[in-house]
Amino acid sequence: MSGIINLKKEAGMTSHDAVFKLRKILKEKKIGHGGTLDPDVTGVLPIAVGKATRMIEFMQEEGKVYEGEITIGFSTTTEDASGEVVERTPVSGDLTEDLIDEAMASFVGPITQIPPMYSAVKVNGRKLYDYARSGEEVIRPKRQVTIHFFERTSELRVVGELVQFDFRVKCSKGTYVRTLSVDLGAKLGYASHMSRLVRTSASGMDLSDSVTLDDIKTKVATEDWSFLYPIEKAVGDLPQVEVTAEQAQDISHGRFIPLANQEQVTLAAFFEGKLLAILEKRQEEYKPRKVFKD
């Protein structure tokens, strides 16, 4: 069995939980996911099955789109709605939509983030959330991420001394959207947190086409494998090139090939509409990095 699944992860389970359950449903051990989702976050969780697991690193590279809600007025230990309140800053009437939009726009492009303490990032061999749960302080490593767009998608909602609004963001691998929400509040002079989040797109897959674990279980019981996409689905926005029969032969044997008018470092090579290999540029030629054979 091999292919790609556009799984709709539900709240209350980790990405690892979803993979574990799929292994039991599909009776297949070789399964992995293309981008972790926090337990409280729902939405698209790309799943690779069988030989498609070799594409996971490329599935993770593509930008991801999220929709959610930011609450300005208090922050939490986890930077989302599941944590305990850390600080309260009642919002004044001076906070306008224009100020929020201007602040959001300032995050577009390459930015530096410090991962939240309640995250799986490892420091000295231990995950940050282990330090957080034991009350230990540790220096967190900074990371560079890219925000492709970050925009408000609703009017401001005033709830007592709080202000809430919906947003949409496309960001690179490794971005913590809850940290982005906290940093936005700080830029505006307030404590804040991410109060809701759904991943609507990842690895070329959309939430509207996703299936739940229950959907998959039902389909497997009737031997309906329509939820399993071919490995080509994992290519996402990776640049593609169609190769000739002669080039395909060389690629299959691990040989370097010249490709005219190509500048991209990494390419997905197709032959007769099928994914043949992932190529990497080495000086003026391309070397097969991963070859997929039927």
Q: In Å, how far from its chain's centre is CA 144?
A: 15
Across residues 85-92, what is the average pLDDT?
94
Is the pTM here over 0.85, yes or no? yes
Q: Write down the pLDDT at residue 155.
A: 97
Provide the H-helix boundaries in the chain: 15-26, 56-61, 97-105, 128-133, 177-188, 213-221, 245-252
Across residues 128-154, what is the average pLDDT?
88
Asked if 64-198 and 239-291 have one fold, the answer is no
**What top-level class would CATH report for the domain 3-62+203-234?**
alpha beta
Please give the residue that has the higher pLDDT: either 77 or 134.
77
Q: Write down the pLDDT at residue 110.
A: 97
| Each residue's pLDDT tens digit, 197-221 | 999 999 889 999 999 999 999 999 9
Across residues 125-145, what is the average pLDDT?
83
For residue 24, with 0-12 CB atoms within 10 Å meaning exposed, 13-18 middle and 19 or more buried, which class applies? exposed
CA-to-CA distance for 294 and 283, rounded, in angstroms?
29
Q: Write down the pLDDT at residue 140.
A: 81
pLDDT over 90 at 91, yes or no: yes
Q: Which two tokens stand for residue 94?
A: 């001076």
Q: Write down the pLDDT at residue 234.
A: 87
Weakest mean pLDDT among 118-132, 144-158, 220-234: 118-132
Mean pLDDT (the chain, rounded): 92
- Which active-site residues does the annotation give? 38
pLDDT over 90 at 6, yes or no: yes
The count of other CB atoms within 10 Å of the CB of residue 177 is: 24
Between the CA of residue 106 and those of 101, 116, 209, what are the distances in Å? 9, 21, 32
Q: Which two tokens stand for residue 199?
A: 């991943």
The pLDDT > 70 percentage for the chain reads 100
CA-to-CA distance for 116 and 180, rounded, in angstroms?
10
**What top-level class would CATH report for the domain 64-198?**
alpha beta
| Each residue's pLDDT tens digit, 18-69 | 999 999 999 999 999 988 888 889 999 999 999 999 998 888 777 899 999 9
Q: Which two tokens stand for residue 284?
A: 């003026």
Q: Where are the domains of the chain?
A: 3-62+203-234, 64-198, 239-291
DSSP 211: B
Across residues 266-284, what is the average pLDDT?
92
Q: CATH assignment of 239-291?
A: 2.30.130.10
pLDDT over 70 at 294, yes or no: no
